[in-house]
Amino acid sequence: MLDRISAPGVARGTMERDEASERLAAEEEKVEGLDGTGSDMGRIVGMSDAVFAFSMTFLVINLVLPQRTAAGSYPDLWSYLANVWPSFVAYTLSFFIIASWWGAHRRLFSPIVRYDPLLVRLNNLFLLVIAVTPFLVGILFDYGPGATLGRGSVSAEVAVALYASVQVVGGFLLLAIWRHSTRDHRLVEKRLPADWIRRTEDAQLTNVVVFALSVPVAFAVPLVSMAMWIFVVVSNRHLVLRPRARRPPQGRSSAGS
């Protein structure tokens, strides 16, 4: 009699303990980020987009409006435009370079479904490069090739080389983010094709190489070095290819099974 009474009680107690353990495990899973890992990519991507938007907007502050002369009149418009067009070219080019980095960042982060502390640190360092770009554009305005119109000077060479060097660092950081995330499919979707991972890495490496090659060119002809950056802007959208779905035909699959 005691066996028949105690056995259901023991079983019920065991079930209650198991259910409590499952509830506790479920609650622990909801608390993400305690160890620096998680799957909520919204905050990382949202902050990144904010930095990009701020940097692209802040660029325009470097453009200087015409000032009144001592006589109280404004300078001739054509003379003003002739003096500021190099600065406007640098502004426009930098705007599209940042937009190009944003496009690459968006495409690389699309298949990333998880984050870890290293990914967050690398992304923050990359955003530092984006945030400092308006400062580099200001240096281009003050010391770039605009004053010599491409004939080159020590200041212009250093200004252009510094700008390109920082972009090289940014490219390497973005490449490091991709390699870290895709190694053994650590942070990306498991179904992401290996060939697309490799082609995307090669495309990102191409951007780094272009900026790196423009650094020594800057010490020869600064304007030619800046013209090389256009390749990154124009080709970036074509270099990162979309993954190709490789699904077996339904007929063959069903026939084989």
pLDDT tens per residue across all 257 residues of the chain: 545 545 555 556 566 666 666 665 555 444 555 667 888 899 999 999 999 999 999 888 877 766 666 665 666 777 767 667 777 888 889 999 999 999 999 999 999 999 999 999 999 999 999 999 999 988 887 787 665 444 445 688 899 999 999 999 999 999 999 999 999 999 998 888 989 899 989 988 999 999 999 999 999 888 899 999 998 888 765 554 444 444 434 444 444 44
26 found inside a domain:
no
Domains in the chain: how many in total?
1
DSSP 8-class letter at 113: -
79 found inside a domain:
yes
45 found inside a domain:
yes
Residues 45, 128: Cα–Cα separation, whole Å: 15
167 found inside a domain:
yes
134 found inside a domain:
yes
3-state secondary structure of 149: coil
Please give the pLDDT value at position 233. Answer: 85
Half-sphere exposure of 206 (CA within 13 A, CB side): 18
DSSP 8-class letter at 242: P
32 found inside a domain:
no
The torsion angles phi and psi of 240, rounded to 5 degrees, stand at -85, 105
250 found inside a domain:
no
Residues 249, 257: Cα–Cα separation, whole Å: 12
247 found inside a domain:
no
Residues 62, 140: Cα–Cα separation, whole Å: 10
The torsion angles phi and psi of 76, rounded to 5 degrees, stand at -60, 135
Show the tokens assigned to 49: 């987009």
Its domain, for residue 142, covers: 37-66+74-241
Please give the pLDDT value at position 69. Answer: 63
> To 10 degrees, the CA torsion angle through 115, 119, 123, 124?
100
List the beta bridge partners of residue 112: 188
- What are the DSSP calls for 195-244, one per residue? HHHHHHHHHHHHHHHHHHHHHHHHTT-HHHHHHHHHHHHHHHHHHSPPPP
Cβ within 8 Å of residue 100, ≥6 positions away = 207, 232, 233, 236, 237
Please give the pLDDT value at position 143. Answer: 80
